[in-house]
């Protein structure tokens, strides 16, 4: 037992990382470690890294520095995507003691002997081809929502992306395991589950990338819809070519799956989509958005967009800008293209200068603000079920409606961690929606 030892964990990047950090945290707790916040004194600090963008790489050094300022003798461990892609680079960061790759991170306890500071960092990182097993993960006890991992890895070959190099081939959890985890999450009192993975629409491939699909994503959501005790289920992000009309129609008729889709676009220019080796063109994307809005007029739809990809001239950028304006989208996640080692895109011609990338990013971020405000305005005067969070933030309590409108209202402890009918009335100066609780009695 390690009752006198403490561990602090933090997550960079996506919801999938968060689900895995939470699972690793429970491993520590189960053998007697005491879990503390990352800004508290701890014997061990674990940083679950991301490597989607250059900024995510830079964040790592910042967190190492924060940990050492709190405890200069702390044992610091790097895990996650960046640790798999560039273990030597992380190991060379001053203060890092241990770097664990994708296969090793779930065996983290096996690598802890005395957690004294090492003279040099130790690296345990496999070849990515060895990361072909599946490890179930979900977050619990950390937030109002739980992130439930249903799939890992990716078989797609998008020319800008390092995720297949960091997480390996596409593989999925068994349906029984997912349903069991969903029941455990529900029994803990958590009201909302967010399905997460690298490419969740590809759900069905087993360990070792077995191509014999025993279940499809539609079968997965159909089964989850029948689990007693789950109040809300949200699909985190799904590729447009994998989001079938059958899935959209199912969500539109479900009482548990919420009317919110995040559908990566990356570009509205077919020329750029082909250079990116995406598996769809703009017409398919438009068809998906139109069908969602046809069957769920109040649905929230978000999109990922990359600006400044090699070959993106002003013409292609304006195709993207105008394409977005022509769609009924609710918000954007805008990424400025950054060169990543060992990707095909790094060898493409017609590199876009960084100042132009920055300018285009600002234009799309401004457009996102407009889209979100327009969507929020369209929801005023309606009553939505809002899941309120437990924190009192300067006299306010916050939450999300089922269709992902961000809500704030004066603090009252009686509604925290509950789903409450709420009338959306106004948009505040900070862009959030305010209003009145419609019925004090919670839905759940």
| Other Cβ atoms within 10 Å of 410 Cβ, number | 9
Does residue 27 share a domain with residue 65? yes
pLDDT for 1 equals 47
Total tally of structural domains belonging to the chain: 4
Estimate the crossing angle of helix 245-253 against helix 217-224, to 10 degrees: 10
Entry pTM: 0.91
Structural domain that includes position 174: 136-258
Q: Considering the domain boundaries, does residue 216 fall inside one? A: yes
pLDDT in tens, 228-265: 888 999 998 999 999 999 999 999 999 999 999 999 99
Q: Classify residue 177: in a domain, yes or no.
A: yes
Is 248 within the bounds of a domain? yes
Q: Do residues 221 and 171 both lie within one domain?
A: yes
Q: Are residues 244 and 175 in the same domain?
A: yes
> Which stretch of 101-110, 237-246, 310-319 has the lowest confidence by average pLDDT?
101-110
Residue 131 lies in a domain: no
Name the CA radius of gyration of the chain, rounded. 22
Distance CA 328, CA 307 (A): 20
Under a CB-based contact definition with an 8 Å cutoff, are residues 384 and 438 in contact?
A: no
pLDDT of 79 over the 70 cut? yes
Same domain? 269 vs 301: yes
Q: What is the pLDDT of residue 131?
A: 77
Do 167 and 244 lie in a common domain?
yes
Same domain, 11 and 122: yes
Q: Is residue 28 part of a domain?
A: yes
Predicted confidence (pLDDT) at residue 94 exceeds the cutoff of 60: yes
Choosing from 69, 100, 126, the residue where a domain stops is: 126
Q: Are residues 121 and 227 in the same domain?
A: no
In a domain, residue 27? The reply is: yes
Q: Identify the band that residue 444 occupies on the pLDDT scale cut at 50, 70 and 90.
A: low
82 and 51 belong to one structural domain? yes
One domain, residues 266 and 155: no
Q: Which residue has the higher pLDDT, 279 or 54?
A: 279
Asked if residues 35 and 64 have their Cβ atoms less than 8 Å apart, the reply is: no
Domain boundary among 331, 353, 378: 378
Sign of CA dihedral 227, 229, 232, 237: negative
Q: Which pLDDT value is given to residue 264?
A: 98
- Alpha carbon of 320 to those of 291, 305, 352, 365, 398: distances in Å? 20, 9, 15, 13, 33
- Look at 51-60, 225-234, 235-244, 399-408 and tell me which has the smallest mean pLDDT: 51-60
Q: Is 316 in the same domain as 396? A: no
pLDDT at position 13, please?
80
For residues 263 and 178, membership in a common domain is answered with no
Residue 376 has pLDDT above 80, yes or no: yes
Residue 160: closest CA among 78, 258, 237, 264? 264
Of 261, 360, 366, 348, residue with least CA distance to 319: 360
Domain termination site, one of 258, 273, 292:
258
The CATH number of whichever domain residue 350 belongs to comes to 3.30.750.200
Percent above pLDDT 90 for the chain: 76
Q: Are 178 and 193 within 8 A, CB to CB?
A: no
Domain annotation covers residue 142: yes
Return the CATH number at 81. Answer: 3.40.50.12160
The verdict on residue 236 lying in a domain is yes
Average pLDDT taken over every residue of the chain: 92
Question: Which tens digit of pLDDT belongs to each residue from 111-166?
Answer: 887 667 777 788 887 777 777 788 899 998 766 899 999 999 999 999 999 989 98
* pLDDT in the model for residue 120: 74
Strand partners, 301: 261
Q: Do the beta carbons of residue 75 and residue 98 sit within 8 Å?
A: yes
DSSP per-residue string spanning 291-332: HHHHH-TT-EEEEEEEES-TT--HHHHHHHHHHHHHS---EE
The CATH number that applies at residue 243 is: 3.30.750.210
Q: Average pLDDT, stretch 387-415?
A: 96
What is the chain's percent helix, strand, coil content, to nearest 5? Answer: 35, 20, 40
Q: What pLDDT does 212 receive?
A: 60
DSSP letter at 224 equals H
Mean pLDDT (whole number) for 266-281: 98
Based on the domain organization, do 199 and 285 belong to the same domain?
no
CA-angle at 320, arms to 234 and 283, nearest 5°: 70
């Amino acid at each position: 037992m390690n009752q006198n030892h403490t561990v602090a964990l933090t997550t960079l990047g996506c919801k999938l990382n968060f689900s895995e950090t939470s699972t690793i945290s429970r491993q520590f707790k189960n053998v007697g470690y005491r879990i503390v916040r990352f800004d508290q004194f701890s014997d061990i600090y674990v940083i679950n890294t991301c490597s989607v963008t250059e900024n995510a790489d830079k964040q790592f050094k910042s967190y190492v520095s924060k940990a050492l300022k709190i405890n200069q003798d702390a044992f610091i461990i790097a895990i996650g995507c960046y640790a798999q892609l560039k273990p030597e680079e992380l190991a060379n960061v001053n203060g890092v003691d241990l770097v664990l790759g994708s296969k090793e991170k779930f065996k983290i306890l096996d690598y802890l002997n005395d957690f004294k500071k090492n003279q040099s960092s130790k690296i345990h990182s496999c070849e990515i081809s060895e990361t072909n097993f599946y490890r179930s993960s979900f977050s619990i006890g950390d937030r109002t929502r739980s992130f439930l991992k249903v799939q890992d890895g990716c078989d797609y070959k998008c020319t800008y992306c390092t995720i297949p190099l960091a997480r390996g081939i596409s593989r999925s959890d068994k349906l029984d395991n997912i349903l069991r985890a969903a029941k455990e999450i529900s029994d803990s009192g958590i009201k909302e589950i967010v399905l997460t993975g690298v490419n969740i629409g590809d759900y069905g491939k087993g360990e070792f990338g077995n191509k014999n699909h025993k279940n499809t994503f539609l079968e997965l959501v159909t089964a989850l819809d029948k689990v007693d005790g789950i109040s809300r289920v949200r699909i985190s992000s799904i590729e447009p070519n994998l989001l079938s009309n059958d899935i959209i129609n199912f969500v539109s008729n479900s009482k548990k799956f919420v009317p919110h889709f995040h559908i990566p676009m990356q570009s509205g220019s077919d020329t750029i989509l082909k250079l990116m080796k995406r598996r769809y063109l703009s017409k398919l994307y438009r068809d998906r958005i139109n069908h969602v809005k046809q069957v769920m007029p109040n649905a929230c739809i978000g999109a990922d967009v990359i600006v400044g990809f090699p070959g993106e001239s002003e013409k292609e950028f304006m195709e993207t800008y105008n394409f977005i304006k022509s769609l009924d989208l609710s918000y954007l996640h805008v990424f400025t293209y950054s060169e990543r080692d060992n990707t095909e895109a790094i060898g493409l011609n017609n590199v876009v200068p960084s100042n132009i990338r920055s300018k285009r990013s600002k234009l799309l971020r401004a457009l996102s603000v407009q889209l979100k405000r327009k969507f929020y305005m369209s929801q005023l005067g309606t009553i939505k079920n809002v899941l309120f969070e437990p924190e009192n933030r300067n006299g306010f309590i916050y939450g999300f409606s089922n269709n992902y409108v961000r809500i704030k209202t004066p603090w009252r402890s009686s509604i925290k961690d509950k789903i409450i009918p709420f009338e959306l009335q106004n948009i505040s100066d900070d862009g959030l929606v305010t209003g009145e609780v419609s019925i004090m009695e919670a839905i759940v």
